């Protein structure tokens, strides 16, 4: 073994370790730096007359990305005429405001380029339960572009990463042309991932396709869980290209790192990745993506079957490994369906369920084709049947076409929230949840737990159930599906012990409640839990 080979192998192992560390630490890489310190009108304010001007004051200068005002009729109007005075944004209402509840949603970029957002509700006249029926705007051209780009990014990610793993772990000998094809798919996938980030930014800011070149669009697209998923996908493509460059254990380790990055990219964003219980749904999404990539990685097999020296050994290895992969794919898919549907009748009574039915139909055809390959074509090919090579290649091409169709159907979930996030349940007077970590615990009571003004009471304790003396407490409600930014309020400490805050949840659905507990000048604890606003 030469010194150069040893150095190359060591380099490959270091890259895999770096990938693993990056994946594990990824959630800690993003932190907002700017914050809203004052607003006029204040959150939850009740005004006798419509305001003639608004102001948002932050703790540092910011750049406005998107400001919109949702009036009492649910009409969303963008605010474009904004005056900036240091860290304060001032603007006038885009139209005359009537009585009732109004929601001001804002999204800005701090000085370091980190986008943050928030929303506040105020009332004109008498406060009540009637809230704006928020309608999320839609752009058909933008929707189609997002759908098509995600199909391309998903297909290239699965085939390139899976293909590299196949060549490194399954192929009995180097397959001429397969590495070049896989590298081409990886490069095409990188372009698709970059473009998808820009389209995500357009969607977040509600801008037309013509604004794709705006810097603010790309900053918005690179933020949040989607930006994390795009970066992890890019990492998977880069590791794939490196794995194709080397041989032996270097290629195996690098392809393994690419597979891990792919699974994590699937697990950090999307409906299923944020469903409860998160540990189960995240693991199921990760396993689903990885097993699908390992199956679809049979693309190089279409080339390998034409080589009499490598085909028999390669086919035997593939036939031995693929049943376990398919079992993992089916188990994770069933788990995700159960989590997202919540009830069996949602399978045919919701748009999400109908999309799932279409996907399952295509998956059944795909599995039937795979079974035919294994039971019928593989023995013929191993026996040296001349026509088996052509038939196997045609079958694998058909599988890939079906995969593209499945990705196209799955892409529709981007626009159809799962039933569990929109399930309507009987109204309740209040709801109590308990949150805890090793550093702090909290008992939270929401009254009433339905759309409209919500009184939130928080009792803070240490892990030993002793009173926790916190310096400050921030309460946040977030529901991205509602088309507005998160709502936050600073809680007030009462004389009898609990902290209290008041927020208005504009729409029913599944929300995320986050408590930001400032324990000392150097320590802050965040507690998070899903809640249902009915």
- Closest by CA position to 115, among listed 59, 55, 65, 57: 65
pLDDT value at residue 24: 47
Whether residues 236 and 323 fall in one domain: yes
pLDDT digits over 415-428, tens only? 666 665 544 444 44
The reported pLDDT for the residue numbered 170 is 85
pLDDT grade for 71, boundaries at 50, 70 and 90: confident
Map 162-231 to HEC letters: HHHHHHHHCCCCCCCCHHHHHHHHHHHHHHHHHHHHHHHHHHHHCCCHHHCCCHHHHHHHCCHHHHHHHH
Same domain, 171 and 308: yes
Residue 434, both tokens? 């308990």
Q: Please answer whether residues 363 and 355 qualify as being in contact, where contact means their C-beta atoms are separated by less than 8 angstroms.
A: no
Looking at 420, 454, 482, the residue that finishes a domain is 420
122 versus 110: which is more confidently predicted?
A: 122
The full DSSP string for 254-270 is HHHHHHHHHHHHHHTSS
In the numeric block, the tokens 């009637």 are attached to 130
Rounded alpha-carbon distances, angstroms, from residue 104 to 58, 74, 269, 452: 15, 12, 26, 15
CATH number for the domain harbouring residue 494: 2.60.40.1930
And the tokens for 518?
């400032």
Q: What is the pLDDT of residue 33?
A: 53
CA angle 56, 512, 233 (to 5 degrees): 90
Higher pLDDT, 501 or 521: 501
Q: Is the pLDDT of residue 242 over 90?
A: yes
What span, in angstroms and rounded, lies between the C-alpha atoms of 453 and 445?
14
Mean pLDDT of 142-169: 89
Angle at 490 between CA 486 and CA 492, to 5 degrees: 145
Question: Could you give the number of structural domains in the chain?
Answer: 3
Statement to judge: residues 356 and 210 lie in one domain: yes
Using pLDDT thresholds of 50, 70 and 90, give the confidence band for residue 224: low
**How is residue 341 written in tokens?**
């549907």
How far is it, in rounded angstroms, from Cα 301 to Cα 299? Answer: 5
Rg, Å, the chain Cα set: 26
- pLDDT for position 28: 39
Summary mean pLDDT of the chain: 79
* Residue 327 lies in domain: 140-420
Question: pLDDT, tens digit, for every residue of 344-400?
Answer: 877 787 877 888 888 889 889 988 888 888 788 878 877 777 787 788 888 888 888
Name every residue whose Cβ is closer than 8 Å to that of residue 298 and which is 6 or more positions away in sequence: 162, 166, 318, 322, 396, 399
| The most confident of 26-30, 361-365, 418-422, 519-523, by mean pLDDT | 361-365
Compute the distance between CA of residue 100 and CA of residue 130 in angstroms, rounded to an integer.
7
Answer whether residue 193 shows pLDDT above 90: yes
Q: Which two tokens stand for residue 498?
A: 């609990």
Name the DSSP letter for residue 84: E
Kindly state whether residues 158 and 66 are assigned to the same domain: no
The angle formed by the CA atoms of residues 34, 35 and 40, to the nearest 5 degrees, is 130
Please indicate, yes or no, whether residues 272 and 311 belong to a single structural domain of this protein. Answer: yes
Same domain, 355 and 487: no
pLDDT digit string, tens, across residues 254-302: 999 999 999 999 888 765 555 667 778 888 889 988 998 888 887 666 6
Residue 61: Cβ within 10 Å count: 15
- What's the pLDDT score for residue 276? 66
Across 38-47, 84-93, 263-272, 280-289, least confident range: 263-272
pLDDT at 188: 96
Helix (H) or strand (E) holding 46: strand 46-47
Asked whether residue 340 falls in the same domain as residue 434, the answer is: no
On whether residue 183 sits in a domain, the answer given is yes
Q: Both 226 and 349 in a single domain?
A: yes
Check residues 270 and 182 and name the one with the higher pLDDT: 182
Average pLDDT of the segment spanning 216-242 = 87
* pLDDT attached to residue 424: 40
pLDDT value of position 22: 46
Residues 206 and 348 placed together within one structural domain of the fold: yes
* Same domain assignment for residues 376 and 460: no
């Amino acid at each position: 073994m030469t010194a150069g080979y040893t150095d190359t192998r060591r380099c490959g192992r270091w890259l895999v370790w770096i990938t693993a560390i990056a994946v594990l630490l990824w959630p800690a890489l993003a932190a907002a730096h700017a914050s809203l310190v004052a607003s006029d009108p204040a959150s939850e304010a009740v005004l006798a007359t419509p305001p003639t001007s608004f102001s948002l004051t932050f703790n540092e200068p910011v750049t406005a990305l998107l400001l919109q005002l949702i009036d009492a009729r649910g009409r969303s109007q963008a605010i474009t005429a904004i005056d900036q005075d240091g860290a304060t944004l001032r603007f006038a209402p885009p139209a005359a405001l009537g009585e009732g509840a109004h929601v001001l949603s804002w999204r800005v970029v701090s000085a370091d380029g980190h986008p943050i957002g928030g929303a506040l509700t105020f009332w004109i006249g008498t406060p009540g339960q009637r809230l704006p029926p928020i309608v999320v705007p839609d752009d058909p051209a933008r929707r189609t572009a997002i759908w098509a780009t995600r199909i391309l990014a998903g297909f290239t990610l699965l085939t390139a990463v899976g293909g590299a793993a196949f060549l490194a772990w399954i192929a009995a000998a180097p397959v001429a042309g397969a590495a070049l094809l896989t590298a081409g798919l990886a490069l095409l996938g990188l372009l698709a991932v970059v473009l998808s980030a820009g389209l995500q930014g357009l969607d977040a800011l509600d801008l037309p396709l013509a604004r794709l070149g705006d810097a603010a669009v790309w900053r918005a697209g690179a933020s949040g869980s989607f930006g994390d998923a795009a970066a992890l996908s890019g990492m998977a493509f880069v590791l794939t290209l490196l794995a194709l460059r080397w041989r032996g254990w270097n290629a195996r380790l690098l392809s393994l790192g690419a597979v891990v990055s792919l699974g994590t990219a699937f697990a950090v964003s999307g409906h299923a990745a944020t469903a409860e219980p998160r540990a189960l749904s995240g693991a199921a999404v990760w396993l689903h993506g990885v097993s699908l990539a390992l199956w679809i990685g049979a693309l190089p097999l279409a080339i390998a079957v034409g080589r009499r020296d490598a085909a028999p050994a390669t086919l035997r290895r593939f036939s031995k490994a693929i049943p376990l992969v398919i079992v993992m794919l089916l188990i994770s898919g069933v788990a995700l369906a159960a989590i997202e549907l919540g009830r069996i009748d949602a399978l045919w009574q919701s748009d999400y369920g109908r999309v799932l039915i279409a996907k399952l139909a295509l998956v059944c055809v795909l599995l039937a084709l795979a079974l035919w390959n294994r039971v019928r074509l593989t023995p013929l090919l191993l026996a040296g049947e001349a026509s088996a090579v052509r038939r196997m290649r045609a079958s694998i091409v058909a599988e890939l076409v079906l995969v593209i169709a499945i990705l196209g159907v799955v892409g529709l979930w981007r626009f159809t929230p799962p039933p569990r996030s929109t399930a309507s349940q009987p109204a309740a007077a209040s709801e109590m949840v308990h949150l805890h970590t090793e550093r702090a615990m909290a008992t939270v009571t929401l009254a009433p737990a339905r759309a409209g003004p919500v009184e939130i009471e928080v009792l803070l304790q240490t892990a030993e159930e002793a009173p926790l003396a916190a310096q400050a407490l921030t309460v946040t409600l977030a529901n991205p599906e509602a088309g507005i930014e998160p709502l936050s309020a600073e809680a007030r400490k009462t004389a009898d012990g609990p902290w209290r805050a008041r927020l208005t949840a504009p729409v029913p659905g599944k929300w995320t409640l986050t408590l930001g507990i400032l324990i000392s000048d150097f320590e802050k604890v965040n507690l998070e839990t899903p809640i249902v606003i009915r």
